[in-house]
A and B are shown apart, each in its own frame.
Chain A
Amino acid sequence: MLKKLFKYEWKEISKSLIILHGIVLLFAVLTRISFAVSGGLNENSTIAGLFFFLSIMVIGTAAIFTVVFIGYRFYKDVFTDQGYLTNTLPVTPQQIIISKGLTGILWMVLDIIVVIAAIFIIMADKETFSNLSQLMKEVIGYLFHGRSLLTGCLIVATIVLTPFVSVLKMYVSVSIGSLLSGHKLLGSVGVYAGIYVVEQIIMIITIAVTGNSFISSSLESENAWEMQVTGVQIANTTMIINLIISLIIFIAGFFVTKYIMTKKLNLQ
């Protein structure tokens, strides 16, 4: 059943998103062509400048729309009239969350790939690739070696976890928003903003506390190497706390969403 749910959700969500990301790539190609014709961005290349500006706008819109659309699809399918069908299918609420969540995560990753591809189409030349591969080698060499290994692993964990947490954060916001008798979407946005604010407050406190210890320890130390080590430790601590918050949001988000779908479904 999970496979079937995934199939239908993928079909439904991809209709709009394929068109949107097609437009992103189209604008990137047009910008590249206009660059080639006018010889790059300069005072005489109004059209190239216009295409460049439009490309940036389209890329930004696509990125925001993708995230919002993933949340909206969940809202529409589960909490509006269509919920009468979705919630009476012979499937469990967790199967619905997982199937929709996976399509959402996949599209977030695809969105990033398309955006990177669009930037390459607009900007890249032979040198870019060789410079970039050199840079990547250096970054990876630095991050996954010796003292920085933990930082490298934490960065990878954060990157991998981000789409999962983003999707669940939207799902739980939509679910809590649906408990209102009216203005459910507005309520969902409010819940999302609330979660965001709490996250930020915890992060600010973390940075303030760890930053404070950094300043006091660096005042004691005159050794630049020690200061760098402390800096890495602080970055690691901040990332670990961020990961813990993300994991809590992810796990709590899943169970709260499941609970609301099972026990507190509030279809009009």
Chain B
Amino acid sequence: MDLDLESGRIIGLLGPNGSGKTTLIKLINGLLSPSEGALLIAGNEPGLKTKEIVSYLPERTYLNENQRVSDVMNFFEDFYSDYDRSRSKDMLERLAIDPTARIKTLSKGTREKVQLILVMSRRAKLYCLDEPIAGVDPAARDYILDTIINNYDENATILISTHLISDVENILDEVIFIKDGQIRMQTAVDDIRVKQGKSVDALFREVFRC
């Protein structure tokens, strides 16, 4: 796989189940090590330096159930110098999530929202969002996508992996189609729309027809 991600773009990482989306994101975040080849983020291999600038939303819930939402906010504030607490507070308020609530009392969807809020409250250089909207209702989905766009720093890159293409395609600048660990296509969304006259969703179905 030969892949180059430019800064300042919202990039969709799209592919069928088992195509290697999560593996790529785990590699970026240092949770897996490449058996061969190299992966660099702002010139550095995944490690201490890159973890300071990459904000990662895994598809799993990593929150400690016994803690309160505010405890996790304190935790983020302590470990990430780019964490902006006021952003979290605003978003929690907007989604009517009580910061004093214990994680274990929250529904699965609410936990995912809390996690996304925390991740998007960092002023990171690269955001890796693995299936960020799969578990939440459509109304919250819209708010979350708005949040992503509104919190989007010009110099930051957002990499979103998802199956729900039609939901995210309006916010994407670029898409990467991936299958069996290989890049099938990397192109600007405008090119798909203008040159091919298709939506990303339609093109995806065409490329990955079973």
- B31: interface (CB < 8 Å): yes
Q: Which residue of A lies closest to B59 (CB)?
A: A84
B29–A88 touching, CB < 8 Å = yes
> A82-B64, A84-B62, A265-B32 are known contacts. Are A8 and B48 too (CB-CB below 8 A)?
no
- A206 on interface, CB distance cutoff 8 Å: no
**Chain A residue with minimal CB distance to B81?**
A90
Are B33 and A262 interface neighbours, CB within 8 A? Answer: yes
Chain A: residues with Cβ within 8 Å of the partner, total of 22
Instruction: Report which residue of B26, B60, B63 has the largest number of chain A beta carbons within 10 angstroms of its beta carbon.
Output: B60
User: Which A residues lie within 8 Å of B64 (CB)?
Assistant: 12, 82
Q: Taking beta carbons and an 8 Å cutoff, which residues of B are in contact with A? A: 26, 29-33, 48, 51-52, 54, 56, 58, 60-64, 66, 75, 78-80
Residues of B within 8 Å of A91, CB to CB, are 48, 51, 79
Do A87 and B30 form a contact, CB below 8 Å, given A1-B79, A4-B79?
Answer: yes
Q: Are B78 and A87 in contact (CB under 8 A)?
A: no
Chain A, Cβ-Cβ closest to B57: A84
Please, which residues of chain A bring their CB within 8 A of the CB of B79?
1, 4, 89-91
Residue from the list A81, A92, A263, A264 in contact with B61, Cβ < 8 A: A81
Determine the chain B residues whose CB is within 8 A of the CB of A81 once the complex forms: 60-62
B51 touches which of A82, A84, A88, A263 (Cβ 8 Å): A88
Number of A-B residue pairs having CB atoms within 8 Å of each other in the complex: 49
Closest chain-B Cβ to A11's Cβ sits at a distance in Å of 9
Partner among A12, A15, A88, A92 whose Cβ is within 8 Å of the Cβ of B31: A88
Q: What are some 22 contacts across the A-B interface (CB < 8 A)?
A: A1-B79, A12-B64, A81-B60, A81-B62, A82-B63, A84-B31, A84-B56, A84-B60, A88-B31, A88-B54, A89-B79, A90-B51, A90-B52, A90-B80, A91-B48, A91-B51, A91-B79, A92-B48, A262-B33, A264-B33, A267-B60, A268-B60
Q: Mark A230-268, 1 if CB is under 8 A from B, else 0.
A: 000000000000000000000000000000001111011
Which residue of A has the minimal Cβ distance to B130?
A84
By secondary structure, the A interface counts as loop
Among candidates B30, B54, B56, B62, residue contacting A82 with C-beta atoms closer than 8 Å: B62
> In the complex, A95 Cα to B180 Cα: how many Å?
36
Looking at the assembled complex, report how far the CB atom of A24 sits from the nearest CB atom of chain B, in whole angstroms: 22
Residues of A near B48 (CB, < 8 A) are 90-92
Chain B positions within 8 Å of A263 at CB level: 33
**A88 in contact with B56 given A4-B79, A81-B62, A82-B64 (CB within 8 Å):** yes
Q: What residues on B are CB-neighbors of A84 within 8 Å? A: 31, 56, 58, 60, 62
Residue of A4, A12, A81 most packed against chain B (CB within 10 A): A81
Whether the pair B60, A87 counts as a contact (CB closer than 8 A) is no
Q: Please name the residue on chain B nearest to A7 by beta carbon.
A: B78
Q: Which of A88, A91, A267 has the most CB of B within 10 A?
A: A88
In the assembled complex, the Cα of A83 lies from the Cα of B58 at a distance in Å of 11
Given the complex, which residues of B lie within 8 Å of A82, measured CB to CB?
A: 62-64
B188 → chain A closest CB, angstroms = 29
A263→B30 CA distance, assembly (Å):
9
Chain B contacts for A262, CB-based, 8 A: 33
Contact with B along A65-101 (1 / 0, CB 8 A): 0000000000000000111110111111000000000
Q: How far is the CB of B200 from chain A (nearest CB, A)?
A: 28
A1 to B54: give the CA distance in the assembly, Å: 17
Q: Which residues of A contact B62 (CB under 8 A)?
A: 81-85
Interface members, chain A 4-56 (any B CB < 8 Å):
4, 8, 12, 15
In the complex, A81→B65 CA distance in Å? 11
Query: What is the CA–CA distance of A8 and B30 in the complex, to the nearest angstrom?
Result: 22
What chain B residues lie within 8 Å of A83 (beta carbons)?
A: 62
Q: How far is the CB of B71 from chain A (nearest CB, A)?
A: 9
B119 to chain A, nearest CB (A): 10
CA distance A196 to B51 in the complex (A): 37
Q: Which residues of A contact B78 (CB under 8 A)?
A: 4, 8
Question: What residues of chain A lie closer than 8 Å to B30, measured between beta carbons?
Answer: 87-88
Contact with B along A118-160 (1 / 0, CB 8 A): 0000000000000000000000000000000000000000000
Task: Give A87 to B56 CA distance when docked, in angstroms.
Answer: 11
B16 vs chain A, min Cβ distance (A): 20
Complex Cα distance, B80 from A34, in Å, reads 54
The answer for the CA separation of A85 and B103 in the assembled complex, in Å, is 15
Cα(A15)–Cα(B78), bound, Å: 20
Shortest 5 CB-CB distances between A and B: which pairs? A85-B62, A84-B62, A84-B58, A90-B51, A90-B52
